[in-house]
Amino acid sequence: MAPAPARAIAVALLMFTCCGLALAADKAPIKWMKAHATFYGGADAAGTMGGACGYDNLYAEGYGTRTAALSSVLFKDGTSCGQCYKIACDRKRADPAFCKPGVTVTITATNLCPPNNALPNDNGGWCNLPREHFDMAQPAWQKIGVYEGGIIPVMYQRVPCVRKGGVRFRIVGHDYFNLVILMNVAAAGSIKSIDIKSSDSNDWLPMSRNWGAYWQCGGMASTPARAITATLLMFACCGLAVTADKAPIKWLKAHATFYGGADAAGTMGGACGYDNLYAEGYGTRTAALSSVLFKDGTSCGQCYKIACDRKRADPAFCKPGVTVTITATNLCPPNNALPNDNGGWCNLPREHFDMAQPAWQKIGVYEGGIIPVMYQRVPCVRKGGVRIRIVGHDYFNLVILMNVAAAGSIKSMDIKSSDSNDWLPMSRNWGAYWQIGGYLTGKMLSFRVTDTDGQTIVFNKIMPVGWKFGQTFASKLQFK
């Protein structure tokens, strides 16, 4: 920006237009990568404040103690600042005495772990090139490792950031040199580019990365010999996509109807097998999916954000600008006796949501009956831990997981009984139910579960000796 002589900025009124690229719900799970992790900052993480990204007080800015300093190869000169990583102890490589298997922790990149070339890479120079390393805040590290271990091998993957509230901006610097940092950025977490525009200009001017998460711009729009006491600044920013291909998720086209009545009582049960959707925490924000979306039950538990497509809808029946997030709990079966565009809404190959009426009426007007919609797969948010129910009979065991967060759906399940050291694979029976033969009645049971995002949790001894068919067991563990 051209210099403006004798110009001072006393007060900045900030308005922001942010364009973050959404998390792509890629159907292929993101690979877990190998690294190592140490810890720093003390038991209260007080020593992690500040850091190379420039967020300063991590408590005040909402990052808390789930943070880490990244080695140079991960920090990438600050372009990774604000990104989130899910980390688990790699039990295949770790000393079992120092590893807490089956647990993950999600951290935000807030600092650089500098190299120490005076020490070898495998003995103190943990952050030397080309090592991938996380120096985690101690409270975060101790979620997955035992203090005495000091360093553990880990597996990690990039994940979308979840934040409370909106993006926050801070501006520092001085006249003719403006430094801006964005904090509390959800989804991608990191920023690809920022442009700036002042109230006395129509031009967006590009900012450049200064250091860490700070972006810089010199001067302001030229207005010689004029003092400015209040300047209106607007920012346009683009977040980096989370997926490997860096492509933003697309909104996909479908149609939506409703069923189940005004209280959604008619939606109970359903092809996924969740039975009482009220009691299991799904409530009235649910839907039955057409066959092409239901995929023989592999989509059970997944979450979708849905909006009326105002470009295709009759405006009398569409509530634009509103979205509703639903959980897939049922199958909308085809009706081949009716044409696809007149009653056979769930016939192949149509993508269709038959939504619980209260959810549908968030985006549509009752009299419309059917509306065109846009949808995208989104992470599920749940309260509490995963719940596991077992039904069936001797020699035939059916297990269902409910209240599953994040991916929402399950890719694989293994089971282990108290009288065996072997994990035995289960197979999908129908909907969200998984099955295994053999006599397991009343034995203490553990489950190793992998969701469709690739995260694995071990529910160790969750079913005690003497359990009965029909019982449900609540865990404190949850997918993230």
> Is residue 4 assigned to a domain?
no
> Is residue 428 assigned to a domain?
yes
* 283/117 Cα distance (integer angstroms): 56
Q: Tell me, what's the pLDDT at 47?
A: 85
Across the range 388-406, mean pLDDT stands at 93
* 68/158 Cα distance (integer angstroms): 13
* 205/221 Cα distance (integer angstroms): 10
- Based on the fold, state whether residues 233 and 322 are members of the same structural domain: no
* 248/25 Cα distance (integer angstroms): 10
* 270/285 Cα distance (integer angstroms): 14
DSSP assignment of 3-59: --TT--EEEEEEEEEEEPPPPP--SSPPPPEEEEEEEES-TT-GGGSS-TT----TT
Position 142 pLDDT exceeds 70: yes
Residue among 322, 323, 278, 275 nearest 303 (CA): 323
Range of the domain at 336: 252-378
* 311/372 Cα distance (integer angstroms): 9
Q: What letter would DSSP give residue 75?
A: H
Tell me which residue has tokens 């933003």: 248
Position 209 pLDDT exceeds 50: yes
Position 237 pLDDT exceeds 50: no
Give the total number of structural domains in the chain.
4
* 196/216 Cα distance (integer angstroms): 10
Residue among 305, 209, 298 nearest 249 (CA): 305
pTM of the prediction? Answer: 0.52
- Based on the fold, state whether residues 302 and 413 are members of the same structural domain: no
Q: Tell me, what's the pLDDT at 218?
A: 65
pLDDT digits (tens, 9 = 90+) for 414-471: 999 999 999 999 999 989 999 999 899 999 999 999 999 999 999 999 999 999 999 9
What percentage of residues in the chain have a pLDDT greater than 70?
86
Q: Tell me, what's the pLDDT at 244?
A: 33
Of 179, 212, 239, the domain-final residue = 239
Which 3 state secondary structure label does DSSP give 236? strand
- Based on the fold, state whether residues 155 and 169 are members of the same structural domain: no
- Based on the fold, state whether residues 172 and 152 are members of the same structural domain: no
Position 350 pLDDT exceeds 80: yes
Position 29 pLDDT exceeds 70: no
Q: Tell me, what's the pLDDT at 402?
A: 96
Which domain CATH number covers 117? 2.40.40.10
- Based on the fold, state whether residues 403 and 373 are members of the same structural domain: no
From first CA to last CA, the distance across the chain in angstroms is: 43
In the 3-class helix/strand/coil scheme, how is 291-311 assigned residue by residue? HHHHHHHCCCCCEEEEEECCC
> Is residue 245 assigned to a domain?
no
Across the range 136-146, mean pLDDT stands at 95
User: Which residues, in sequence order, are CB contacts of 245 under 8 Å at separation 6+?
Assistant: 24, 26
**Chain-wide mean pLDDT for the chain?**
85
Of 192, 208, 239, the domain-final residue = 239
- Based on the fold, state whether residues 57 and 127 are members of the same structural domain: yes
> Is residue 480 assigned to a domain?
no
> Is residue 27 assigned to a domain?
no
* 443/464 Cα distance (integer angstroms): 7
Q: What letter would DSSP give residue 383?
A: S
- Based on the fold, state whether residues 193 and 128 are members of the same structural domain: no
Q: Strands 445-451 and 352-356: what pairing?
A: unpaired
Strands (E), 219-361: 228-239, 252-259, 286-290, 303-308, 323-332, 352-356
Position 25 pLDDT exceeds 60: no
Residue among 467, 429, 427, 470 nearest 446 (CA): 467
Of 239, 261, 286, the domain-final residue = 239
pLDDT digits (tens, 9 = 90+) for 64-94: 999 999 999 999 988 999 999 999 999 999 9
- Based on the fold, state whether residues 14 and 73 are members of the same structural domain: no
Sheet holding 445-451, edge to edge: 424-425, 410-417, 445-451, 456-463
- Based on the fold, state whether residues 284 and 354 are members of the same structural domain: yes
Which domain CATH number covers 410? 2.60.40.760
The strand pairing partners of 195, in sequence order, are 206, 236
- Based on the fold, state whether residues 135 and 186 are members of the same structural domain: no
How far, in whole angstroms, is CA 387 from its chain's centroid?
20
> Is residue 26 assigned to a domain?
no
Which class for 313: exposed (0-12), middle (13-18), buried (19 or more C-beta within 10 A)?
Answer: buried
- Based on the fold, state whether residues 221 and 324 are members of the same structural domain: no
> Is residue 479 assigned to a domain?
no
What percentage of residues in the chain have a pLDDT greater than 90?
64
Which domain CATH number covers 205? 2.60.40
Q: Tell me, what's the pLDDT at 30?
A: 61
Per the CB < 8 A criterion, the answer to whether 140 and 66 are in contact is: yes
Q: Tell me, what's the pLDDT at 61?
A: 86
Per the CB < 8 A criterion, the answer to whether 70 and 112 are in contact is: yes
Q: Tell me, what's the pLDDT at 199?
A: 87
- Based on the fold, state whether residues 284 and 327 are members of the same structural domain: yes
> Is residue 276 assigned to a domain?
yes
